[in-house]
Structure 1
Amino acid sequence: MHRLFVGLRPPPAMREALLAAMGGIDRARWQSAEQLHVTLRFIGEVERPLAEEIAIALGNIRFPAFDLAVSGVGSFDTRGRPHSVWAGVKPHETIARLHRKVDQALVRSGLEPERRAYLPHITLARLNSASGPVDRFLDHHADLSTAPFRFNNFLLFESTLASEGARYEAIARYRLDP
């Protein structure tokens, strides 16, 4: 089985800005530079034949290269308890259009369509019940931003879960139109 997702890898300068903002939440599992990404679509575990079909379908996507910038921070929670903190990206409309194209290609490959609302973001830390409060971090970094960076490709990643966190390996790169 292959655990897959489609995403964007931020360029080095954007990753450096995000790494510099990390800290200040007790017992948070901060992401490494290699883990930072914007998910376009989580796929999950698939057998090799379907993974190959997915790779081909993604290669048929035509979409123009675009700029994204980091813009603010937030958290996701379950029943009022934060489980991750993230940095937002903008503009939302452009990346949401690419998300829809990726989703449509995956549906044509036999996957179920994405049912959750799409909120483009870069996960900075994962939290558990022992993690400290996030309010101070969110207040301190509310205006976190970067200059826009050009994204010329998107990637198919394989995710391997490990005790120290997930490892992501780009297994295919798809060029965006110039």
Structure 2
Amino acid sequence: VKDFTSLKFVIDAISDVREAESWIENDFLSVFQRYEVLEKYLPPECMTKMEMDNKAILRVSWQRLLDKVEEVRDTVHQLQQPFEQSLLQNVEVFKKDVSDFKQEYDVEGPMVVGLNPIDAMTRLSKFDRKFDTLQRKYELYSSGEKLFGLPQTNYPVIHEIKGQLESLKCLYGVYQDVLTTMDEYK
């Protein structure tokens, strides 16, 4: 486990095994009960040696998987504390990054009053790229908070700017289409 993403993957895999455990146990019980009936009422030569071996291995393999899941769960539990501390530090830095981005967006972004459309499109492209980085971090840190059962940090600025950028991309996309169409008719 190297980072939050791999930790989340491991924890999700453990959860998947735990969720499947009860219905798999029920299926095993049903299968083994049927084997008992077959063994009780049919002659031994009706079941092949390979089938008998597979039946014996099935339970052992499942138990090995459960033991491995438990071992990994214990390891993950030991690793959680450093990852949680790192997440909390990263969230604090991210709050400042969001605030700095908002300030820069308001002063130098595509919605500055008096900006001509070409400059606004250039700025839109620049801030859209920067926002994509913020959005990825937001998703990573939010999933980390959820993973550790921490309160979800709210970033209304991210949602606000995301909406603005999407609207501006639509608007300037139409503007660009109009310019292209006008150039074609010249």
- Higher fraction of helix: 2
TM category (shorter chain) comes to: under 0.3
Could you say which structure has the greater relative contact order, defined with CA pairs below 8 angstroms and 6 or more residues apart? Answer: 1
The alignment's TM-score, normalised by the length of structure 1, stands at 0.22
- Normalised by the length of structure 2, the TM-score is 0.21
Which structure: larger Rg? Answer: 2
**Larger strand proportion, structure 1 or 2?**
1
